[in-house]
Amino acid sequence: MVRREGLWAVLLAMVLLFVSSQLFAQEDVIEKRQKLMKGNSATAKALKKAVEEKDYATVEVKAKEVGATMDKAHELFPKGSTSDKSRAKPEIWEKWDEFTKSAATLKKATSELAEAAAAKDEARVKAKFDDVGKACSTCHKAFRAEKKS
């Protein structure tokens, strides 16, 4: 009888360890995701300034930086990774194909912006910068909740 109770206690402890490790892993991925997105925000501000100043070398570099983060974005959104700190909407996982397409659209837009900057084509840089903004906005409207007050 004591052996049976001991076995149940060990089994319960293992289940609790597994569940708690999953919760910690989820919080870790949310923190990484938020860090990446805050970095993108800072890069976007620098990108905007560079576009305004016609600093095409910086535009090219910053556009590539934002595009490169889209390669990592999917792995930072494992199914159901939400918390009180997260603004990720459930629609991300309900419409995963649309979500991944949004990331691909942003990556394409940043690549085209970098190409326009490399060519020092002012009109194209402005147009492609607008496309980058639209791609960000479209994804945020569909998949990011409003900031909690």
From the candidate CATH numbers 1.20.58.390, 3.50.50.60, 1.20.120.10, 3.10.580.10, the one assigned to the domain spanning 31-143: 1.20.120.10
pLDDT in tens, 31-50: 999 999 999 999 999 999 99
- Distance separating alpha carbons of residues 72 and 61, to the nearest angstrom: 18
Length of the chain: 149
pLDDT in tens, 124-141: 999 999 999 999 999 999
Ordered by start, the domain boundaries in the chain are 31-143
Higher local confidence (pLDDT), 87 or 2: 87
